[in-house]
Structure 1
Amino acid sequence: MSSLGQGAVIGLIAMVLFMTGMPIAFALAITALVSILLFLGPDQFDLFGKMVFDSLNDFGLLAIPLFVLMGNMFGGSQASKQLFEAGEAWLSRIRGGLAMSSVAASTLFAALTGSSPATSAAIGRVAVPEMAARGYSARIATGAVAAGGTLGILIPPSVTLILYGIAAEQSIGQLFAAGIVPGLVISVMFCIWVYIAQKMEDRKPLKDLGWGDMEHEVPERRTYTWADRFKALGKTLPFAVLILVILIVLYRGIATPSEAAAIGVLLVFVMVAFLYRGLTGRQFTDVLLESTNQSTMILLITAFSAVIATVLSYLRVPQDLAAAVTDAELNKWVVLILINLILLVMGFFLPPVSIIVMTTPILLPLVLGLGFDPIWFGIIMTINMEMGLITPPVGLNLYVLKGIVPKVPLKEILIGSLPYVGVLGLAIALFSIFPEIVLFVPRLLY
């Protein structure tokens, strides 16, 4: 059997196991074990333990549980409410302003948490009931929050970018720098779509706003003076300072990503304890347990995916795939479109962490052979992962929103979120045509 045939068998085994519904990490572990037995032989079975240990014996991975902890501490505080209120003060008078406020709050909150589901949950709890009370449709309200939450894996610090950097052996600092401008551009594009969608609804109002019999108190409509706006903006300064400190120590070479994450955790702990007083002792214990659970699952997925990647590399699947594409003399943009479609389909079924770790060792040699920049490709790959977060059947952000507003049909949330998949596709096209949008900041800093 050819190497590409062996790779296809390994992929098929993984997909069958994923469809059984077992946890992703365990499905990957079984796939790795079966792959070793089938293609390396039973006498090489002991390599599994060594590969798992080697994949986790990396100081850079320490950044993952630290950034997860930092994000969960913010998620348990009043930070999301402060951010949404600041956005409301500045944008509430614009058509669709509250929905735009949720996108703006998600953008900044994403930079603090690095987690898309956490961003959707934290902002959604504050923003969605407020928009429901102000007459927004469920589609616009939940769609804006679900899409805004996807920015959590793009805007630094991002766990996804850390994993890509480790898998691709690229600078995590450069990847963080590369994610800043695309994250802001996509945030603006989301706000533009909110304006368009709201204008379309104003012309043809929905008979049913989609909230079901959801009960809520209608808040008093506030008018904001310029003093109120600047006061609300001032409450976001601690967040801006925190982000700035993390970026400075990282980009100046003062600290490694793991050390920068530790500094971030310390600063967040001080901010939550003394500025927001948002966590009781019991809540802090819950945050620690939740962070441990999330970090453990991410690291298990990382370890077992790395074993599969090592087996595929030993079988020369990535190298032969790159050679086959080169020999076919396909246009590099055609190949890039095919890669994006493959990543999009994988995002329908798998979480970003597993896709990044599994596919990067396979796709990177192909991408480099076509002359694309690996830092740029990391951002393009991450935007593809954002699409998967708001597309069924696995779209995590959709189910996060469903948990926040259980009386809203999942269909309404999906209808509101799907246009943002098109917006993200448009962003990929924009960054492909003008790669300097992605690469300007990392080249400036490095």
Structure 2
Amino acid sequence: MIGVGEAALGFMLMLGLMLVGLPVAVAMFLTAFVGAMLTMGWPVLMTFGNQIWSGQNDFILTAIPLFVFLGEILVRSGVADGLYRCLSDWLRRLPGGLLHSNIGASAVFAAVSGSSVATAATIGNVAIPILTERKYDERLTAGTIAAGATLGILIPPSINMIIYGSMTNTSIGQLFAAGIVPGIALTLAFMGLIAGIALFRPSVAGPTLPARPMQEKLRSLLEILPPLAIFAVVMGVIYGGWATPTESAAIGVTCALVVALAKRRLNLSVLHEAMISTVRISAMILLILVGAQFLNFVIGMLGIPQTLTRYVVELGAGPIQVLFLLILFYLVLGCFMETLSMMIATLPVVFPLILNLGIDPVWFGIFLVLMMETGLITPPIGMNLYIVQGVRMRGSIMDVIWGSLPFVILMLAFTVMLIFVPGLVLWLPELLF
């Protein structure tokens, strides 16, 4: 076994390789390679082929390209436009007006696409021109879109949950169920924050819009039915016991193709663009998983998880103290690493410690997803910040950062609440399973 100092040095090496621009998968593989060569020599590298095979030969990973493809089809089928119009009709009279539509549309779209980046880009393209025209505060507008899009990895189906479940052998169905209540609660918390800001500073919400006639509002509900129907089908077949998460993803893709066909948006060009994007995103994710699998193997061989666990026990830290340290750890790490890389790189070391402390792996999966959500809008690396700024094409990235800051604070407070009220996460999985 090696000590905590050597393990920390290895982690700093991996972080340094990422910061100088090496791809995440390459940085993880090189870190594992150096660690293996310095401690165990060439024989351990003979297992690399087996590690690739065992890491990728997992049926559940097939769900990743399927859910990515599902999101890509919805992005290109115009679902977001109708969804935003519908929610605008129903939410415009709340304090904060159309800012609530940003959160609501992000939550519904995220529940189907499972991608925060796709949600930020899609809702941003729809919402920013409308809110700019109506003189809404630019910072808060950008902040609501960036923060609302983070719901894409919390509300199921979530690609990040699939990866977490695959790496930790945790039930995907339970993880999906565990994300529903916190996802809804966080959505409502975001909307409550917007209402509070608008009540104290009415100028941020622009002029009050007149209410839409009830007949038009009821007609607009037809626009929200396709994404809700796809979500209901995808989740229903899982919890009804009729399909695995991978099979449900395939069913969701079929439903998305039907929706695109019904909207007359389905053609060869759309399919080609969606497939190319799916291949690129899926290849990136799966290559990172290959590097992580080898790194995980080397970390296990070196006894790093056992060393870390023993070190924590010697310090006398309990589960609550460790979780607060992890909040700080991931908050700092989120400033320098992309969220998926952050999760995959740290799980091999952190997860054994969590199990040793008796923390439920399903609950920890939601905790980790919340930390990744926060990382998506934490400067300077927060991906959603740059997606929204790219859509705005005006002003400074600092506007998006300041607009997102209240939501970062809210998410941290929400995470702390889950530590003391774990039933909010575990109630639905325990009910269904």
Output the TM-score relative to the length of structure 2.
0.96
1:50 matched to which residue of 2? Answer: 50
Corresponding residue pairs, total: 433
Q: 2:312 aligns with which of 325, 328, 349?
A: 325
Larger deviation, residues 416-425 vs 245-254 = 245-254
Q: Partner amino acid for 1:280?
A: N
| Whole-Å separation in 2 of the counterparts to 1:334 and 1:404 | 40
Q: Partner amino acid for 1:143?
A: G
2:169 matched to which residue of 1? Answer: 169
| Whole-Å separation in 1 of the counterparts to 2:29 and 2:2 | 23
| Whole-Å separation in 2 of the counterparts to 1:35 and 1:284 | 44
Which whole-Å deviations, capped at 9, do the CAs of 1:101-127 have from their partners, x for residues lacking one? 110010000011111010011111111
| Whole-Å separation in 2 of the counterparts to 1:34 and 1:63 | 33
| Whole-Å separation in 1 of the counterparts to 2:250 and 2:225 | 20
- Tell me if 1:244 matches 2:232: yes
How many Å apart are 1:375 and its aligned residue? 0.5
Which whole-Å deviations, capped at 9, do the CAs of 1:145-202 have from their partners, x for residues lacking one? 0000000011101011011111111100000000001001000111111112223333
1:399 matched to which residue of 2? Answer: 386
Which whole-Å deviations, capped at 9, do the CAs of 1:350-407 have from their partners, x for residues lacking one? 2222222222232122222222211111001100000100011211101111111111
Q: 2:374 aligns with which of 377, 384, 387?
A: 387
| Whole-Å separation in 2 of the counterparts to 1:352 and 1:220 | 37
Contact 1:138 1:408 in 2 (8 A): no
1:139 matched to which residue of 2? Answer: 139
Contact 2:149 2:384 in 1 (8 A): yes
SS class of match (2:22) = coil
Q: 2:324 aligns with which of 323, 337, 340?
A: 337
1:215 matched to which residue of 2? Answer: none
How many Å apart are 1:94 and its aligned residue? 1.6
How many Å apart are 1:30 and its aligned residue? 2.1
Contact 1:305 1:358 in 2 (8 A): yes
Identity, % of aligned pairs?
Answer: 37
How many Å apart are 1:414 and its aligned residue? 0.6
Unaligned 5+ segments in structure 2 are none
Q: 2:354 aligns with which of 352, 356, 367?
A: 367
SS class of match (1:65) = helix
Unaligned 5+ segments in structure 1 are 210-217
- Tell me if 1:272 matches 2:272: no
Larger deviation, residues 55-64 vs 248-257 = 248-257
Q: Partner amino acid for 1:32?
A: A
- Tell me if 1:315 matches 2:302: yes
SS class of match (1:349) = coil
Larger deviation, residues 177-186 vs 423-432 = 423-432
Larger deviation, residues 41-50 vs 95-104 = 41-50
| Whole-Å separation in 1 of the counterparts to 2:159 and 2:55 | 16
Larger deviation, residues 128-137 vs 348-357 = 348-357
SS class of match (1:394) = coil
- Superposition RMSD on alpha carbons, in Å? 1.9
| Whole-Å separation in 1 of the counterparts to 2:266 and 2:374 | 32
| Whole-Å separation in 2 of the counterparts to 1:222 and 1:129 | 19
Which whole-Å deviations, capped at 9, do the CAs of 1:53-86 have from their partners, x for residues lacking one? 2211111110001000101111112111111111
1:2 matched to which residue of 2? Answer: 2
1:118 matched to which residue of 2? Answer: 118
Summarize the alignment of residues 427-446 of structure 1 with structure 2, pairs less than 5 Å apart.
427-446=414-433
| Whole-Å separation in 2 of the counterparts to 1:249 and 1:319 | 40
Q: Partner amino acid for 1:175?
A: L
| Whole-Å separation in 1 of the counterparts to 2:173 and 2:120 | 25
| Whole-Å separation in 2 of the counterparts to 1:219 and 1:8 | 53
Contact 1:144 1:416 in 2 (8 A): yes
1:212 matched to which residue of 2? Answer: none
| Whole-Å separation in 2 of the counterparts to 1:228 and 1:442 | 38
| Whole-Å separation in 2 of the counterparts to 1:411 and 1:51 | 43
Contact 1:154 1:179 in 2 (8 A): yes
2:212 matched to which residue of 1? Answer: 224
How many Å apart are 1:408 and its aligned residue? 2.4
